[in-house]
Structure 1
Amino acid sequence: MFSFLAFLVTTPLTFILLPLIIAWFLKNRTTKRILYGIVIVLTLVFTNTPLLKMAEEQWYKEYDHPLPEGKTYTYGIVLGGYSFWDWERNRPEFSGIADRLTEGIRLYKCGRIEKLVLASDGSIIHSKDGKGLQGNPQGMMKYLNELGIPKEDIILETFANNTRENVTFTKELLGKEINTAPVLIITSAVHMKRSVSAFQAEGIYPDCYITDTWVNVKGQSVSFLPSVGTLLQWPELLHEWVGYVVYKFLYS
């Protein structure tokens, strides 16, 4: 039930269709017109790409900066959501946020992090009861080894189903050292604020490295024309807003 309510709250179509449905049943013409006007405004808002860009950039602005010059980290924690294991072809299949992992690998290769920690993901998750999602931790370990990362520098957390569990289970896995060693979180820009709040609730104060930011492409401007694609992007940000408020309420 909670998941269904969360889905409704984080879906722009809920806000667009609700006044439309209410207007359908009302007889008062003035009220109908007001509600139809609200529908039009909300549709224009949620299909406006520059507005979404501005909202997301403001949301992750405080984390959008280079790493401290010369600083190295004991653990680089890559938060999951970037892949699933393709059992048919025996390899990971990556999504559009794969640079969470690729940047983690690059930072390891550059010597900025000593241990690469994958904090659960569809490619490595291991449902304890065998009924949920099943990744392939051994296969992903082999994949990373083939990219030149030795087994002793890879730590896999394989049970978390959400960001809060990412923090709890990773802390259990790494032990007390996570509270004193330099730690870097690597995740998508809009996901960072909620992730940081979850880590801080456990007494962990990491540095942050964001991926999946908006890119200002030279020679290409962001269109103000309504975009269905933009409408489909809003749930990610709404999910982060709601999740952040919930985390603050429950764990602060």
Structure 2
Amino acid sequence: MFFILSKLLDFLLSPALWLVGLLGLGLLVRNARWRPRLLWGALGLLLVLTNPMLVNEALLAWERPPVRLRQLLPHADAGILLTGITEARKLPHDRVYVQQSADRLLHTLWLYRAGRIRRVIISGGSGALHPPPGTRSEARELHTLLRLAGVPDSVILVEERSRNTRENARFTQQLLARHPRIRSTVLVTSAFHMRRAEGCFRQAGLRPATFPAGYYSVNRRALPAFGLMPAEEPLRLWGILLHEMAGYAVYKLLGYL
């Protein structure tokens, strides 16, 4: 039930839905007092949600800052890579499709190649309500990509039951209980997701070092001079950020963090 409700909440937190709803009300309401207010409200919301600088400031405040390599242990026993970066709805299924968050996969590979982690734990089943028939778990797909990148199968552990961040932590803790030699770990996930992930892993009794990846924000000085001009990308970024902030609040309320 929680999994289904989370998908419903994801839909309700869509900024595009808010804009369409507010604009629709403004066009349908005949009240001379409320109609212009709704239409002006829709215009104001549109200007806010399409402003690159505003969403970038919000992302800078929410995302965990980058961690320098020298801040990590010289050699951790394993890196914990969270899934949520593949696209199972795309055909054909003879390859692996990845999204922008695939940066966390590349960072995990970087840590392994740099000798900072000795093993890789991939955690994640499927985040879809109804996974398409014949699709593999996300963990298996990332396992395939790591193998293609030359990571030996002997150093990869796969947890493919979890469907959300809380289960990532719980099932990874159970996996680690079966591998007592793995004591030091590095948690790798997207920067905007790290707050919730770190809280869940701590609640599960784990204390991994963190290595955020997949940044949606940019440095302030990297913004172009026309950063105040409306654009379509901020609308998508607000949706990602609001969904994560709501997820964090719900997890906190339920005691998962």
Q: Distance in 2 between matches of 1:186 and 1:66?
A: 13
Structure 2 stretches of 5 or more lacking a match?
Answer: none
Residue type matched to 1:172 in 2?
Answer: Q
Q: Distance in 2 between matches of 1:191 and 1:40?
A: 30
Shift of the 54–157 alpha-carbon distance from structure 1 to 2, 3 Å rule, reads: same
Query: What is the aligned residue count?
Result: 247
Task: Please point out which of 247, 252, 255 is paired with 1:248.
Answer: 252
Q: Is the 8 A contact 1:76 1:113 kept in 2?
A: yes
Shift of the 141–46 alpha-carbon distance from structure 1 to 2, 3 Å rule, reads: closer
Shift of the 243–109 alpha-carbon distance from structure 1 to 2, 3 Å rule, reads: same
Identity of aligned residues (%): 28
Q: Is the 8 A contact 1:76 1:185 kept in 2?
A: yes
CA-CA distance at 1:181 after TM superposition: 2.1
* 1:7 partnered with 2:14: no
Task: Please point out which of 133, 142, 163 is paired with 1:161.
Answer: 163
Q: Give the aligned partner of residue 62 of structure 2.
A: 59
Matches within 5 A, 1:43-192: 43-61=46-64, 63-67=65-69, 68=71, 70-84=73-87, 88=92, 90-120=94-124, 133-135=135-137, 141=143, 143-175=145-177, 181-192=183-194
Q: Give the aligned partner of residue 243 of structure 2.
A: 239
> Which deviations, in whole Å up to 9, do the C-alpha atoms of 1:54-75 show, x marking residues without a partner?
10110014x4332415543222
Q: If the length of structure 1 is used for normalisation, what is the TM-score?
A: 0.82
Q: Is the 8 A contact 1:197 1:247 kept in 2?
A: no
Q: Give the aligned partner of residue 212 of structure 1.
A: 214
- Output the aligned Cα RMSD: 3.3
Structure 1 stretches of 5 or more lacking a match?
Answer: none
Shift of the 73–239 alpha-carbon distance from structure 1 to 2, 3 Å rule, reads: same
CA-CA distance at 1:90 after TM superposition: 3.5
Residue type matched to 1:101 in 2?
Answer: L
Q: Is the 8 A contact 2:123 2:172 kept in 1?
A: yes
